[in-house]
Amino acid sequence: MAIKLEMLRLFRIVAEQGSLGAASSLVGRTPSAISMSLAQLEADIGAPLFETDRKNRLTPLGQLVLLESGRAADAFSRSVEAIRRHAVSTAGTVRIAAVPSAANTILPTAIAAFSRVRPNVRLEISDVDSAAVRRRVKTDEADIGIMSASVLDPSDGHVVLEDDLGIVCRSDGAIAREAGNGAKLSWGLLEQEPLIANPLCHLVRHPWIPDLLSRCNLEARNTTALLSFVRAGLGATVLPASAMQHQPEDLTFLLPRDPATRRQLRMIRDTNRHLGPAAEAFWTSLLEIGRQSGTG
C-alpha cells in the first residue's frame, strides 16, 4: 500500500503532541484509529518511527519522516492555495512583491492602466527588498516580483526601468556646499555627512562605499522614510533619479561619475509555474511599460 498524505499528517500531529490522546483530541479521531494509521505507515516504510508505544520519542528514522512530513504538508497546502487562486472567478488576485522605489515609479502607472481594464482584480503589493522579492517569488508567496539590480550584474528578469543612482542630501548641508564650491562630483562626497544606508548603496562600485557602510548607524529601505531622514538632517543617502521627481527644494540630487552608476528595475516570475489569467495580464502590462520606456 502506498504512503498517503493523511498518514503523514497524522504522524506529524502525534509526533508534535507527544501522545495518541493529545492527537486524538486535536483531530477528532479515536486513539485506536490513529494508532492503526501509524501502524500502517510504519509497515509501508518498513521500520518503526517511535522508540516506544507511548509515542513520545522518535527514532532517528522518525525524525527524518517528521521533517519530510512537514515539507510534504506545506507543499500540498501551497498547491491547494494555488489551485484555489486560479479557480477564483474571472477576476482573481495578483500578488506583487516589489522594492520600495518601484512603488514610486512604475507601479502607479501599471496599476492605473491595469485597473481600467480589469477593475475587479485584487492587487496585493508587498514592499520588500530585492532579496525578499526573489525569495517570495520562489516560494510562491508572490506571482510577480520587481527588484533592483545593477546594469553591470548579470541577472534574470525583464528590465522595465533604468535610471541613474546619485547622492541625495540637504541643500544646505556639507555635501551640497562642497559641490557648490566646485568640488568634483564624487561618491567620496558622502564622507562629508553620515551615510543613511539602503540596499541601493551596494550597487555603487566606489572603493570608499564599503567603509562608509561599515561605519553607518542608520539604515532604511523605504524611499519615503529615506527622504524624510535626509530632510531632517540625519545624513545623506543613495537613491535613483526617478525617486527625486517632485521633491521640494530643500533636497539636492547629485550625479557622481566615478563611476557613473545606473540601476535597473527588473520584473521576475517563477518560470516553473503558470500564472493565473489576472497575473498574466498584469505581467503583460509591465512588459508594455518596459517597451514604452525603451528598456523592455
Work out the burial of residue 9: count CB atoms within 10 Å of its CB; fewer than 13 is exposed, 13-18 middle, 19 or more buried: middle
| Cβ atoms < 10 Å from Cβ of 252 | 22
> What's the CATH number of domain 5-87, 1.10.10.10, 1.10.3720.10, 3.40.50.410, 2.30.40.10?
1.10.10.10
DSSP character at residue 189: G
User: Cα(174)–Cα(187) distance, rounded to whole angstroms?
Assistant: 14
User: Cα(148)–Cα(19) distance, rounded to whole angstroms?
Assistant: 49
User: Cα(99)–Cα(221) distance, rounded to whole angstroms?
Assistant: 8
Fold of 93-160+264-292: D-Maltodextrin-Binding Protein; domain 2 (3.40.190)
288-292: long-range contacts (C-beta < 8 A, 24 or more apart)?
288/113, 289/106, 289/109, 289/110, 289/160, 289/161, 290/158, 290/159, 290/160, 290/161
pLDDT at 89: 44
| Cα-to-chain-centroid distance, residue 290 | 21
Place of cell 494508532: 35
Fold of 162-262: D-Maltodextrin-Binding Protein; domain 2 (3.40.190)
Per-residue pLDDT of the chain (296 residues; tens, 9 = 90+): 578 888 888 888 888 888 888 888 888 888 888 888 888 888 888 889 888 877 888 999 989 988 888 888 888 887 777 676 655 544 578 999 999 888 878 899 899 989 998 888 889 999 888 889 999 999 999 999 999 888 767 667 889 989 999 999 999 999 999 998 888 899 999 999 999 999 999 999 999 999 999 999 999 988 889 999 999 999 999 999 988 877 777 999 999 999 999 999 999 999 888 888 889 999 998 988 888 776 65
Whole-prediction pTM: 0.64
What cell does 235 get?
545624513
User: Cα(277)–Cα(259) distance, rounded to whole angstroms?
Assistant: 43
